[in-house]
Structure 1
Amino acid sequence: MIGLLALQGMTTTSCSDWLNLMPNDGVPLDEFWKTKEDVRSVVNGAYLSMTANELVQRLFLYGEWRADMITTGRRTNSSIVSVFNGEISIDNTYLDWASFYQTINICNTILKFAPTAQANDPTFSEAQLKEYEGQAIAIRSLMYFYLVRTFGDVPFIREAYVNGSQQMSVAKSSEKEILAGLVADLEMVETGNYLPGQYSSTDIAQNKGRMTMWAVKALLADIYLWQEEYEKCNRKCDEIIGSGQLLLVPVESRKIEVENTEEGTTDIYYAPDQSSYYSLFQQIYYQGNSMESIFELQFATDNLNPFYSLMSSGRGVIGVKTERVNSDIFPPLADEAYSGECFDIRSVISQSKSCLWKYIGVEPNGSERAQEEYTNNFIIYRLAEIYLMKAEALTQMAILDSDNQELLKEAYAAVKVIRDRSTAVATTDIGQTEGSYSGKAMEEFVLAERGRELIFEGKRWFDVLRQAKRNNYDGENLNYLMTLAEYSAPASKVNSLKAKYRNYHSHYLPIYSEEIDANPLLEQNEFYAN
């Protein structure tokens, strides 16, 4: 049930001794919430709960499952395959959102009882209380943002469940209401200076694995983009980019000039330095917590991530849709004579051997991780995405202003920062018409660039849905999902999937059947109600 008791029902692992400090049913709460250390232990528990296999699998699947870049792996999982086929049953166990609400309830518990601990502990300062509260609000907001993008309207619970006598059934709140609540909470945390920019000058994992003010700004920018609040999104992106606190991992390249005798011009290509983009892979995807990281879920040898069983070459149930990725997402350089040395590094970094190499590789084109090496983090936000959020916001601002060319040029400049780092090939660049940009073409270009930069990072379905639903599915926006259907489903299922997508309610997943059975106030999402 969604009304999970405060922190019961969680299994203890070698790195979760904090659970022993938690109040259980029948233990007086005032025996626990005594000191700032008690609060800190529960905040640590909130972060730990986000690394639960059930939750991390869903963070990935909800963002990629129905999109166009992954398919079945070496082994078959019927619950995953059915969604690839466009067939979504309310009994599919991956629809179970309990892990999200478990984390939410931990955050609600912190917000309810942390002031009690502060009142009991004279060394517990107001600034420390705000820091813990700010982290709880930010984590809770992130969980709800995933839920509303995936399910639409969901129960919006702000009360802590701490014993079995409480009312556990809660009706759904509207997506619009929830998002407004999240924005209000996050803006309060931001303007109230609840959180620091960093927690440690020496421990980078503390700064990348905890909610900082930069993580809050990134989350706000993302929500603003979903709400179509483009000027607010752009301002938030500028604050992050302009802070100087985050830097893109650099990649060196070699310029190659080729005389085009037929056109009388000089073609310019860029060949990436191998050691340089290997280093990028190591910093961002193998080691994690890179200089461009904003927030990542942290894993370690005693708390492995779930990607071995999900993605490994031998046991994984998910693989790369190679034809789509190699032909459409990363088409080669048009000049075949140079395509071997001049390529988009992301095509090599992201995939190999039909596997999602970002998650399972030791280095590009190299060996695969052993099972005990699945310690890589799960990235929620990094600086490259902020540039692309900015580009999307600027593009929509330009479209609303009759294709304002200055804004479109600024949008292209933001994308170009990412493309230049990746030695993206001209084949995927945007064209101009009589020296000017088309707003619609820039919109499609930014979406395609997000597909390349953030490939397999749990973003794709949300990105495409955001384009489709813009301005209440205005004009031909639904075509974004229709195109996605052509690549995401088997040929025999494409027409039926397109028919489903014409019903806007199908764009959100159904509520898990067991939740419906357990909560009499919960109504099934409209498309799946019968």
Structure 2
Amino acid sequence: MHKKVIYKSVLVLTLVLSCSCNKYLTLYPQDGTTRQAYWQNKEQLQSAIIGIYSSLIQGTASTSNKASSSPEMAETLFIWGELRADNVSAGSNATADEVNLMNENILSTNVYANWTSLYRTINYCNNFLKYAPDVLSLDPTLTKAKLDSYMAEALGVRALMYLYLVKTFGDVPLKLTPTATDNDLVLLAKSPQKDVVTQILADLKTAEGTALRTYGDQASDKGRITLYTIYAIEADTYLWTYDYANCIAACDKIIGSNNFGLISGNSSFFNTMYANGNCNESIFEFQYDGSTTQVNPFYGLTGGAPAAQLIAQANVIGGLFPVDPNDDKNVDIRSSIAVNSGLQAIWKYVGTPNSSAQLTTTTSYRHWIVYRYAEILFMKAEACAWIGGRGTEALQIVLQIKARANSIYVQGLSLDYPTDPTDALAVTNYILDEKNREFIYEGKRWYDLLRNAKRNFPNNISILTNALALVLQPAFQQTTLAKFRDVNALYMPIPNSDILLDPNLVQNPFYK
């Protein structure tokens, strides 16, 4: 088992980098000698870089009353990536904000219209990128190579945070300098999405030159930014912007490294991928560990079924994972991992293999997987579908993953298998259908639907509306279809609290 803790809360880092308010645009840092005394040696630099990773798992687990708090990052990423899509339903303890997200009835006061956790981490990265280089002249034992590798990590984390932000909000404030003193407080306007993407790619290209391939141990290789994480973020960014050639090139760097692969789809799959974590298929994960009380938020969200906040959508059970009518032993191994059908429970984060037992609030420390090798294959497949002349290659990639999962469709062409590999839209629909099975509840589904719905908007909006027709309450179906005639409705509103504090921030057009 490779579940060694690699990020721990660093008190001095919190004193140096944290701010007294939670809101990004009103971050008030510690002034005075604390910061001046901190950036002095390589040991402090090591603490600072680990502190960036610690910020990814800071926060309190989900509760039914979050009105006065900011959801922690993994919870935010799960909600953003899943609740507006077609795999989640409201449980008996769902909050009003969760139900409103599912029904596309979104206000800027929704607790999940909140970017605090991401901008907090961005500020940690900005502090590191500004002050870390000064340590090179202060500590003769710090090498330039070590400093540069740390800088690559900070650039990679910052790029990842901004990628999530543009996928979720569209245009967002772009801040590249730290809020390190009171004089650094800036009221920022939004930057166009294309400018933020340009900065993301610039950061990643810089990081490519000095990011490490390995730290020498499995937990660090999966819990810290490596060169392969940089490539994964690049591939994701290029796919988001429909730059298919560069997406394929980034994917091929990971594939060609031979450092990753699809793990076996045997009886140990659940334990290896999710219960233990940090497996060979993994590229980057948030490292929770119950031994240090670093538990994830998912028991609060999906635990306690059937009386959970969030449960599996009914069509997932039997629809997304149908049983072979001719052989009930021929099942997709991902079905029982995704859902406990008896409880209608989302099972990946709170369930136990081959059992109806659930984890508890103190043992809910499954990792949040940001990237794994299977997604690299899916990203390459989608890019191949659209680049021209590579549709057959795209389908063959998907069949690799179907085979690993023992999917009932592997044995022959199903009705959804495209008969014309040059039909990019049909091939893409096939890819998205299978990717949904593979990555259900891993925070991918909404972004996959959104990315494809906004391509040549509004021509492909049916990719999104057809999926949502399964889950929207009848009272909201027509209004949602009308909303989605405006591409701006596909993004989240800017947090109302930040609009009130920053006169330079303008609400996203649909929500004005």
Asked if 1 retains the 8 angstrom alpha-carbon contact of 2:187 and 2:503, the reply is: yes
Mapped to 2, the partners of 1:423 and 1:40 lie a distance apart of 44
Partner of 1:431: 417
User: Which residue in the other structure is 2:212 paired with?
Assistant: 196
Instruction: Extract structure 1 runs of 4+ deviating beyond 6 A.
Output: none
Whole-angstrom CA distance in 2 between matches of 1:328 and 1:522: 43
Q: Is the 8 A contact 1:485 1:497 kept in 2?
A: no
Query: CA shift at 1:477, angstroms?
Result: 0.6
Query: Within the alignment, does 1:154 sit opposite 2:152 as a pair?
Result: no
Does 2:272 align with 1:283?
yes
| CA distance in 1: counterparts of 2:270 and 2:231, whole angstroms | 26
Change (3 A) 1:411 1:354: same
Structure 1: distance between partners of 2:289 and 2:417: 45
- Counterpart residue number, 1:527: 510
Alignment of 1:386 onto 2:376 = yes
> Deviation per CA, 1:61-96, whole angstroms, max 9, x where unpaired?
111110000011231311111111221111112212
Map of 1:25 onto structure 2: 31
- Distance 1:155-1:20 versus aligned 2 partners, 3 A rule: closer
2:457 matched residue in structure 1: 473
Letter in structure 2 aligned against 1:319: I
The alpha-carbon deviation at position 196 of structure 1 amounts to: 1.2
CA offset at residue 488 of structure 1? Answer: 3.2
Secondary structure of 2:358's counterpart equals coil
- Partner SS, residue 381 of structure 1: strand
The one-letter code matched in structure 2 to 1:378 is W
- Give the SS at the match of 1:245: coil
| Shift in Å, 1:429 | 6.4
Partners of 1:80 and 1:428 lie apart in 2 by 35
Work out whether residues 298 and 378 of structure 1, in 8 Å CA contact, stay in contact via their aligned partners in 2.
Answer: yes
Partner of 1:349: 337
Matched, 1:101 2:119: yes
For residue 308 of structure 2, the aligned residue among 288, 313, 316 is 316
- Alignment match, 1:330: 321
In 1, Cα distance between equivalents of 2:107 and 2:224 = 36
Aligned counterpart in structure 2 of residue 177 of structure 1, from 170, 195, 209: 195
Structure 2 CA distance for aligned equivalents of residues 499 and 330 of structure 1: 31
Conserved 8 A contact 1:135-1:210:
yes
CA distance in 2, matches of 1:166, 1:436: 54
Do the aligned residues in 2 keep the contact of 1:248 with 1:383 (CA within 8 Å)? yes
In structure 1, the partner of 2:441 is: 456
Q: TM-score normalized by structure 1?
A: 0.86
Per the alignment, residue 47 of structure 1 pairs with: 53
Q: How many residue pairs end up in the alignment?
A: 474
- 1:41-190 superposed matches below 5 A: 41-53=47-59, 54-190=72-208
Residue 249 of structure 1 contacts residue 291 of structure 1 at CA under 8 Å; is this kept in 2? yes
Contact 2:86 2:313 in 1 (8 A): yes
Matched, 1:235 2:244: no
Q: By how many angstroms is 1:371 displaced? A: 2.2
Let me know the Cα RMSD of the aligned residues. Answer: 1.8
Question: CA offsets per residue over residues 374-405 of structure 1, 9 Å max, x none?
Answer: 1110000000111111100000112xxxxx3x
Among 358, 365, 374, which residue is 2:364 paired with? 374
Deviates more, 1:460-469 or 1:313-322: 313-322
User: Does the CA-based 8 Å contact 2:123-2:178 persist in structure 1?
Assistant: yes
> Which residues in structure 2 correspond to 1:247-326 (within 5 Å)?
247-251=261-265, 276-277=266-267, 279-301=268-290, 302-314=293-305, 316-322=308-314, 324-326=315-317
SS for the counterpart of 2:493 is: coil
> Which amino acid in structure 1 is aligned with residue 196 of structure 2?
I
Number of the residue aligned with 2:385: 395
Aligned partner of 1:260 in structure 2 is none
Aligned to 1:5: none
Question: 1:331 & 1:281 partners in 2: Cα distance?
Answer: 19
Residue 236 of structure 2 is aligned to residue 222 of structure 1: yes
When residues 236 and 429 of structure 1 are mapped into structure 2, their CA distance, relative to the original with a 3 A threshold, is farther
Amino acid in the other structure paired with 1:220 = E
Alpha-carbon separation, structure 2, partners of 1:418 and 1:150: 28
**Is the alpha carbon distance of 1:39 and 1:456 closer, same or farther for their aligned partners in structure 2, counting shifts above 3 Å?**
same
Alpha-carbon separation, structure 2, partners of 1:34 and 1:432: 60
Is the CA contact (8 Å cut-off) linking 1:33 and 1:39 kept in structure 2? Answer: yes
Q: Distance in 2 between matches of 1:461 and 1:432?
A: 23
Q: Structure 1 residues 36, 311: closer, same or farther in 2, change over 3 A?
A: same
Asked if residue 417 in structure 1 is aligned to residue 400 in structure 2, the reply is yes
Give structure 1 stretches of 5+ with no counterpart.
Answer: 1-12, 252-275, 399-403
- Is the contact between residue 351 and residue 358 of structure 1 (CA under 8 Å) also seen in structure 2? yes
Gap change, CA 1:526 and 1:231, over 3 Å in 2:
same
Q: Deviations over 1:501-530 (max 9, x none)?
A: 11111010001111000111000000001x
Distance 1:356 1:101 in 2: 29
Q: Does 1:505 align with 2:488?
A: yes
Alpha-carbon distance change, 436 to 174 in structure 1, aligned in 2, over 3 angstroms:
closer
For 2:414 and 2:439, how far apart are their aligned partners in 1?
A: 15
1:36 aligned to which of 39, 42, 47 = 42
